Amino acid sequence: MNISILGKNALVGGSSKGIGKAIALQLAKSGANVTVMARNENDLKSVVSELDTSQGQTHQYLLVDFSNFEAFKKVITSFFTTSNVDILVNNTQGPEAGGALEKTVDDYQKAFDLLFKSVVLTTELALKHMQQNKWGRIINVASISVKEPLNYLALSNSIRAAMTTWAKSLAIDVGKNHITVNNVLTGYFDTDRIASLNAKKAEKMGVSPQEVRAAMEAMVPVKRIGKPEEYGFLVTFLASDQAAYITGTNIPIDGGLLKSL
């Protein structure tokens, strides 16, 4: 199957590194014009220089800080006054790790702004063109923790669960416009985020980060951590015409880690 999204405009959040970057790279390889957005301008410029242009694509970057909602709102609203998006990949950096007893109400509010409000706002702005064009793809980067909560990620567990149920409701409302809405439930991937979480866990446990990683790999049925490019393959398929009948779903990409159905 040859997947082509030639001529489609894609906006990918958190795409200066890791999973977001891998998604942007694969979308570009499949023909999309890609706007990458994150908070590190040098990293964004580097990603843009790596994006495929062999099919006449044009790419750009958008400098945003997801952790400052009011500032983000101004930038993203301004972007949509001059730009249209056919494929929206909602992805941000994760909130701070920690258990439920370690977090305050203010922590939950900040996580809500980061993981929920920014996603809803960006989607609302993107939907105007998608509804007019009768075609669109909204893909939310979520986590397997919405099905099986990880006790050291209380903020992420809670707010991402809200996002996935909102996405299900949205999918019902926009399906008639040939717009699909799907959540990708992320397992363990070889990213800076995982390395950082492993380092903190190792410090608490009094072991090395390498030992934490080895234990993590042993938990996964395929006995390894995912490669970011594998994530990009799934998202690109969901962004294509071939995935037009897939909507309102939570799709795990975790090497079989989830034990629940």
pLDDT one-digit tens code per residue, 92-118: 988 888 999 999 999 999 999 999 999
178-194 residue pLDDT tens: 999 999 999 999 998 88
Amino acid (1-letter code) at residue 217: E
pTM of the model: 0.95
Query: What integer pLDDT is reported at residue 214 of this predicted model?
Result: 94
Would you say domain 9-189+228-253 falls under CATH 3.40.50.720?
yes
d(CA 62, CA 236): 21
Query: What integer pLDDT is reported at residue 202 of this predicted model?
Result: 87
Statement: residue 68 has pLDDT above 90: yes
Q: Are strands 60-63 and 179-186 parallel, antiparallel or unpaired?
A: unpaired
Cβ proximity of 27 and 59 under 8 Å: no
Statement: residue 51 has pLDDT above 90: yes
Residue with token string 């920690």? 98
Q: Which residue has the higher pLDDT, 134 or 2?
A: 134
Q: Which residues of 22-40 are buried (b: 16+ CB within 10 A; e: fewer)?
A: bbbbbbbbbbbbbbbbbbe
Q: How far is CA 81 from the centre of its chain?
A: 23
pLDDT band (50, 70, 90) for residue 204: confident
CATH 3.40.50.720 residue window(s) in the chain: 9-189+228-253
129-158 residue pLDDT tens: 999 999 999 999 999 999 999 888 999 999
Q: Which residue has the higher pLDDT, 13 or 197?
A: 13
d(CA 126, CA 234): 21
Statement: residue 200 has pLDDT above 90: no
